[in-house]
Amino acid sequence: MYDWNDLRYFLELSRQGKLVRAAARLHVDHTTVSRRITALEKQLDVRLFDKSPNGYQLTDAGLRLLPLAEQIETRSNQLYQEIAGKDARLGGTVRVAAPEALGSQVIARHVTAFCREHPDIEIELVAETRRTSLSKREADIAISFSRPESGRLIAWKLCDYRLRLYGSRDYLAHHAPISRVEDLSRHGFVSYIEDLIEMPELRFFDNTIKNAHVVFRSTNVSAQFNAILDGLGLGLVHCFMAQRENRLQVVLPEQISVERTYWLLVHEDLRHVARVDAVCAFLTRLLSENSQLMMGD
């Protein structure tokens, strides 16, 4: 029989990825963490971690153990709350994968209130527009452009959002006037690098702006935004980014508009883990309260 106290060390190392960081969270020496992990592996007769220059990564056995260990952690907290009559302080790391624009321009701007309420929960925000596998535990929570059609995932709609065509006021003042869609042929555009787009939901530019003369491309939304702001050309911009910048002006708002939806995804094994549930609630509330900002209304 294994010592279930060792699961605390397993959980923290799986979250932190490094012995020193896990030890600091547990208030022990890093050799203690290493010793307890070794003991657990010996008792279970499996290898739970692979060590690399980047730290400790879960093996297949470790990935199978993780949701079970988290269930035990959750039950332990519930026991403490119900028997002792005290609130167990939520703690641990929650990794959130979100599209770059949403993560950097909305979530990061509002995360302070959450951290004040839950000082022992550390949010890791992966703000990149790429595919993330929840089943491989690349993240605990993902915000996606679409609802998954398969897998052991729980999903719900966070909000709708809108992109419109924008140009800097300086650019528009020094280039040919635009009063109809046909006038766009005389202008340069900023967009994505087509062959590096991973998600089909991002292939909206060519469907919206026909035969556009693109003068600058980037995989990075912030780079596109700054190029448009600098007067390089026109581009489709998230309304929640453009509304904060009075140097931008919307172009043909009645004719050009792209509407999309953000979905929150969480693996069913983690849905009722307290710290993950707290972050899910925070993200859901945040985007519900900012629905007008997201749509540019």
Q: Where are the domains of the chain?
A: 6-84, 92-159+261-295, 161-258
- Superfamily name and number for 161-258: Periplasmic binding protein-like II (3.40.190.10)
Query: Does the structure show a pLDDT above 80 at 84?
Result: no
Report domain 6-84's class.
Answer: mainly alpha
Let me know if the fold of 92-159+261-295 is the same as that of 161-258: yes
pLDDT at position 194: 80
Fold of the domain built from segment(s) 92-159+261-295: D-Maltodextrin-Binding Protein; domain 2 (3.40.190)
Which has the minimum average pLDDT: 11-15, 90-94, 188-192, 217-221? 90-94
CB contact at 8 A, 138 and 17? no
- This prediction's pTM: 0.74
